[in-house]
Amino acid sequence: MGAKSSSSKAVKLSQIGDEYLALRSLRTILFSDLKTLANPVETVHLPIAVVLHHIIVHGPLRLPHEVHGWSEAEYVLWLQKHSSSEVIDLVEKAVDGQLDGTEEDEETVKLVREVLVHAKEAEVEEAGDGVQ
């Protein structure tokens, strides 16, 4: 009854799961320059909602639930029940109109819009991959 070697406990990357990969990616973006988040390669394993909220929280903009007058709990429930394309639309509407002319606002909105463009392109690609 010998102990198993540590190599027999090794787990393959393919077995880890999307949640683990997202967690590892989140750890990386926490310490990254926000401008790097416009590159989809930097956020490949993260849900788009996480990326968008990360940018908004670190900028001067109000969060979507604040713009729409929802409580945090209502917003979390809404996020859980809706698709990523609906989240994209909601965040886009919340960000539009928040420009007050400051440079920081403009930079944050520009970055959010870049991420939104990439997210929409990825959705189109995924939809195209599913149709054959």
Can you give the pLDDT of all 132 residues of the chain as single tens digits? 545 545 567 777 667 788 788 888 888 888 888 888 898 888 888 888 999 999 999 988 999 999 999 999 999 999 999 998 999 999 999 998 787 777 888 889 999 999 999 998 888 888 777 655
pTM (2 d.p.): 0.77
Where are the domains positioned within the chain? 16-130
Positive or negative, the CA dihedral 96, 101, 106, 107 is: negative
Q: What is d(CA 38, CA 24) in angstroms, rounded to the nearest whole number? A: 18
pLDDT at site 73: 96
Q: Considering all CA atoms of the chain, what is the largest pairwise distance in Å, rounded to the nearest integer?
A: 71
- AA letter at 40: P
pLDDT at site 59: 87
Distance of CA 103 to the CA centre of its chain: 23
pLDDT at site 28: 82
DSSP line for 37-58:
GGSGGGGTTS-HHHHHHHHHHT
Range 14-20, long-range pairs (CB < 8 A, 24+ positions): 18/45
